[in-house]
Structure 1
Amino acid sequence: MKRLLKQKENISLEFKKDRNALPANLFETICAMLNREGGDIFLGIDDKGNVKGVEENVVMKLVTDLVNLSNNPQKLDPPFILFPQVHEIDERKVIHIQVPASSQIHKTAKIIYDRSNDGDFKVEQPHRIAEIANRKRNHYTEGIIYPGLRMEDFKQELFIKIRNLIRSNNPAHPWLALDDKQIMEISGLWKKDYLNGQEGFTLASALLLGKDDVIQQIIPHFKIDALVRINNTGRYDDRLYIQTNLIEAYEQLMDFVTRHLPDKFYLEGDQRISLRTTIFREITANLIIHREYTNAAPATFVIYEDRAETENPNNPHGEGPIDPTNFAPFPKNPLIAKFFIQLGRVEELGSGVLTTSRLTKEYAGKGNAEFLEGSTFKTIIPLNFRNTVSSVDTVTDTVNDTVSDTVNDTVKQRLTKIIKELNRQPGLKSKDLAKITGVSEVSIRRDMQRLTLLVEFRGAPKTGGYFLTSYMLSKLDNR
């Protein structure tokens, strides 16, 4: 944000000095940026980039109004729900609105606007509207209309899931008051083509919510191939072949990550976070959101001994390595990205690159994350499986030192396995560990009495789980 404030206003940057109310022309700028290449709008900043600030007593009202108006087809047609961020600069409140490029054509007050270096201008001539439509059609294939798609072609159980995800992320989200069809329409998954008047559900709708057989009929080449190549590098140690909707594909990929990649104890401030989850939720979402789905090449997620590497077909917006300290985020599938944001699976655009870059060294203990833009988009996250292997010896030694000598070797091996699994998957319950180790829950509870120095139970009896103690984690961190 500080980097942006040092720049002059341009095609993708707008300052508005209003302090007490939303600017009268704000939605003209939002509409224009949606129709062009997106951009950033700052409220409380004058034309020269000086921080004036928004009055503190109206900040939250303005944010709420912005969210509601961007979701209102009377104000922005079609709606494109935005999530403004409030920042404090020089003890003054500033509202930052990140506007992505959209795959649709938007209107405000029934007028289409486009963006140039000179600002926002009305687009009323049919040939100019056609130019915008052609530009978006050529770049954003997620907006292709499939007139034959009907509501019955979508997985009905997914609508329950998305409501639960939205509710847990934002209990006051305006979509929660809508029925299934209204959610599809207001999220842009149903659209009208301004060139030929065609209306219907889009490719994005099928990918996000379609039944598996529907997706395969529309894009039969669609698949995500997840592999582990640590021991058998010629083929694979494990493989997950995904051909389902993107909401469940995300969950399957994250389960694959949990099974095959270790976690690591990490404090951010005074709060423990899962480095594995924080990094790979961004990598997984990026693989899904920014893929060019009309390209027949598969998306891949491969875990090697020294790195995790993803690759997906891409409609590039530039070439070469992305510099995390100086880049402009550009969604390749704005509708899909927007939908994932509502579910709480993605933060604001560009945050994934920044978060992953910041935490990768903490996770791997070496190297930097790499993001390579081109006809395929490649992400490389360094790993350190040699340290992970050595941690097995650490666990074995710690269990042997801690547990009574009267405990037989078979039980010690099971205790070691429990420690390793809790290091990989913190929070497992007795029934989970019983299934993993092949013994009864009674045996697991007996095992826990032997591991009181190394394992602790956290949470309520019915919903809590087992975690490694700080003592055990310190042993692993110092291996």
Structure 2
Amino acid sequence: MTPDDLTQVLRGGESTTVEFKRCGDLPHADTFETVCSFSNRMGGDIYLGIDDDGDVSGVDKSRVAEIERNIANVANNRKLFVPAPTLETEHCEYDGRMIIRIWVAPSSSVIRFKGVVYDRIADADIRLESDIQISQMYIRKQNYYSERRIFRYITPFDLRADLIARMRDMAVAQRAGHPWGTMSNDELFRSAKLYDRDYATGEEGFNLAAVLLLGKDEVISSVCPSYVTDALVRRDDVDRYDDRLLVRTNLFDAYDQLTGFVRNHLPDHFALNGDKRTSPREIISRELVANSLMHREYSSPVVARIIMDNQSVRTINASRSFFEGRMRLGEFTPMPKNPIIADVFLQTGIAEKLGSGLRTLIKAAHMYAGAEPEFIDGDIFTAAIPTTHAGVSDDSTVVSSSNPLSNGVEAAHKDAEVQRAVMSVGQDEPRYGRLDPEWAIRMSIGRQVEACGVVTVPNIIKDTGLDARMVRKRLNRMVEQGQFVVEGKTKNRRYVSTPKLNLREYEDNKDAINSMVS
């Protein structure tokens, strides 16, 4: 680490992989909470001797070796960390002050600090207690694919004979002489890895992929009760929907129904691909739906959605994420979330080779609306494809944002966050204690302003369960933006709202969230 490297870090500020910490004699417990959260997410760098706002205060130069030794001892103390995280330390001088960098590697195991699991969301360390949140972390880290789960008592009679024949015919139509065309059903099941053996337990039988692809509807609902795709059109009635389709059937029929739904509600814009006339609408509907069905984490209870509005068409689904953040070509390695299902889709022509879908959607979005799509991966995957040209909506009215996709992306994140809230709010917890920190604080502020126009730190802490430092940091930022004025000092400090305060997000989401926590 050089001073120039540190300058770039300071410019970027705190993030999912960067944390600034003050450090007195020795690192405080919150430093090791960040070590735990980084280990459980993507890894990252902790800089000791830097304030939250990026001011460099430094650490005591005479105690650098002692601090680094303390970090190593705590990390390897089995009474504190289980299992031990992997980390390294280094130090450098910056403007005459000493800075210590702790590099934390992502762990293949779920790590606990003092018996608590911490996760990193945005620039905050989140204490996880919900079974769903912790199980989602195990799903993300384990090498086991849920589609390979074997059901010993599923028989060929639980599968649809017409779907087996359809799968075979589609493969042959895709490639003449495909071996599935001459195989018996038993040979086909084994070739497609739909009938499998777990070599760790010795169990043998049809797996979840087979049930989802070929199973009867009642069998699918029995073995995978949370599986559903909720497709919505929100153009005129944005609070509810103009049209809706709930799909709980096998993946072949689900693909047909969902692509038909998107196609019916998306205007057709023909374009030239080279010298050939093509329909980007067909490409968008096909690739979006195939991606949602192939790469979904089916063991998660999060409801998958396809939402169409005046600005975009977007998908939201649970993911077994290997990557966190915005996905850009050349900056990530495509990883199949369900390799068996993906291979069947590839063999039958529903999908193309791994990684090509992203490129195809980007190209189709440019042909359809002349704008960039957005893909963001994590525990919840969101994809948003613009459907209007820059500055103009479907009804030719002017759009306030210069980027027609911005509203769609924000809405996708909003829907994803409300999904997280729906699955994880507990009755014995702080009112908003299970939402991501930023959302929890927004909801608490909105509730207090609506009630009396005044916000206090203790009330937000009571609502969210967050620490005072994080709450004050957010409120101070809002004071700087002119949204609040401060009255009183220290113990009796109050934040009074001003006309600049924007409570739109609270108004948009309070009914959905408050109904779950009241």
TM-score when normalising by structure 1: 0.52
Aligned with residue 378 of structure 2, among 374, 379, 382: 374
Equivalent AA in structure 2 for residue 288 of structure 1: L
Q: Which of 1 and 2 has higher RCO (CA within 8 Å, sep 6+)?
A: 1
Is the aligned partner of 1:328 residue 2:333? yes
- Distance in 2 separating the partners of 1:354 and 1:327: 13
Q: What corresponds to 1:294 in structure 2?
A: 299
Does the CA contact (< 8 Å) of 1:226 and 1:253 recur in 2?
Answer: yes
Q: Map of 1:238-317 to 2, 5 A cutoff?
A: 238-317=243-322
Q: What corresponds to 1:144 in structure 2?
A: 149
Equivalent AA in structure 2 for residue 260 of structure 1: H
Corresponding residue SS for 1:328: coil
Does the CA contact (< 8 Å) of 1:137 and 1:143 recur in 2?
Answer: no
Is the aligned partner of 1:173 residue 2:159? no
- Structure 1 residue 164, shift from structure 2 partner: 2.4
Equivalent AA in structure 2 for residue 192 of structure 1: R
Equivalent AA in structure 2 for residue 261 of structure 1: L
Using the aligned pairs only, state the percent identity.
40
Does the CA contact (< 8 Å) of 1:151 and 1:181 recur in 2?
Answer: no
Q: Map of 1:427-466 to 2, 5 A cutoff?
A: none
Q: Map of 1:318-467 to 2, 5 A cutoff?
A: 318-365=323-370, 367-384=371-388, 388-390=394-396
Q: Map of 1:93-104 to 2, 5 A cutoff?
A: none
- Distance in 2 separating the partners of 1:363 and 1:257: 14
Q: What corresponds to 2:187 in structure 1?
A: 182
Equivalent AA in structure 2 for residue 251 of structure 1: D
Q: 1:211 to 1:137 in 2, by over 3 A?
A: farther
Does the CA contact (< 8 Å) of 2:311 and 2:393 recur in 1?
Answer: no
- Structure 1 residue 169, shift from structure 2 partner: 1.0
Does the CA contact (< 8 Å) of 2:296 and 2:318 recur in 1?
Answer: yes
Corresponding residue SS for 1:384: coil
Does the CA contact (< 8 Å) of 1:324 and 1:357 recur in 2?
Answer: no
- Structure 1 residue 192, shift from structure 2 partner: 0.9
Equivalent AA in structure 1 for residue 372 of structure 2: N
Does the CA contact (< 8 Å) of 1:254 and 1:280 recur in 2?
Answer: yes
Corresponding residue SS for 2:395: helix
Q: 1:136 to 1:305 in 2, by over 3 A?
A: closer
- Distance in 2 separating the partners of 1:160 and 1:187: 14
Q: Map of 1:207-218 to 2, 5 A cutoff?
A: 207-218=212-223
Corresponding residue SS for 1:208: helix
- Distance in 2 separating the partners of 1:316 and 1:178: 35
Q: 1:247 to 1:274 in 2, by over 3 A?
A: same
Q: What corresponds to 1:78 in structure 2?
A: none
Equivalent AA in structure 2 for residue 164 of structure 1: D
- Structure 1 residue 326, shift from structure 2 partner: 3.1
- Structure 1 residue 137, shift from structure 2 partner: 6.6
- Deviation string, structure 1 residues 211-250 (Cα, Å, up to 9, x no partner): 0000000011110000000000000000000000011100
Is the aligned partner of 1:221 residue 2:226? yes
Does the CA contact (< 8 Å) of 1:319 and 1:374 recur in 2?
Answer: yes
Q: What corresponds to 1:69 in structure 2?
A: none
- Distance in 1 separating the partners of 2:278 and 2:348: 20
After TM superposition, what 4+ stretches of structure 1 lie above 6 angstroms from structure 2?
Answer: 134-137
Does the CA contact (< 8 Å) of 1:137 and 1:144 recur in 2?
Answer: no
Does the CA contact (< 8 Å) of 2:151 and 2:206 recur in 1?
Answer: yes
Does the CA contact (< 8 Å) of 1:139 and 1:315 recur in 2?
Answer: no
- Structure 1 residue 390, shift from structure 2 partner: 4.8
- Deviation string, structure 1 residues 367-386 (Cα, Å, up to 9, x no partner): 31111010011101111285
- Deviation string, structure 1 residues 288-328 (Cα, Å, up to 9, x no partner): 00000010111100001101110101110110001123321
Q: What corresponds to 1:88 in structure 2?
A: none
Q: Map of 1:37-48 to 2, 5 A cutoff?
A: none
Q: Map of 1:44-193 to 2, 5 A cutoff?
A: 138-193=143-198
Corresponding residue SS for 1:389: coil
Structure 2: state its 5+ residue gaps: 1-138, 398-518
Q: What corresponds to 1:463 in structure 2?
A: none
Equivalent AA in structure 2 for residue 381 of structure 1: I
Corresponding residue SS for 1:324: coil
- Deviation string, structure 1 residues 93-120 (Cα, Å, up to 9, x no partner): xxxxxxxxxxxxxxxxxxxxxxxxxxxx
Count of matched residue pairs? 257
- Distance in 1 separating the partners of 2:298 and 2:271: 36
Equivalent AA in structure 2 for residue 197 of structure 1: G
- Deviation string, structure 1 residues 267-296 (Cα, Å, up to 9, x no partner): 212222211111221111110000000101
Q: 1:135 to 1:188 in 2, by over 3 A?
A: farther
- Structure 1 residue 167, shift from structure 2 partner: 2.1
Does the CA contact (< 8 Å) of 1:311 and 1:376 recur in 2?
Answer: yes
- Distance in 1 separating the partners of 2:396 and 2:169: 41
Q: CA RMSD in A?
A: 1.9
Corresponding residue SS for 2:240: coil
Is the aligned partner of 1:234 residue 2:239? yes
- Structure 1 residue 389, shift from structure 2 partner: 3.2
- Distance in 1 separating the partners of 2:200 and 2:353: 31
- Distance in 2 separating the partners of 1:201 and 1:377: 28
- Distance in 2 separating the partners of 1:294 and 1:318: 19
Q: 1:137 to 1:319 in 2, by over 3 A?
A: closer
- Distance in 2 separating the partners of 1:281 and 1:203: 23
Does the CA contact (< 8 Å) of 2:310 and 2:393 recur in 1?
Answer: no
Does the CA contact (< 8 Å) of 2:172 and 2:180 recur in 1?
Answer: no
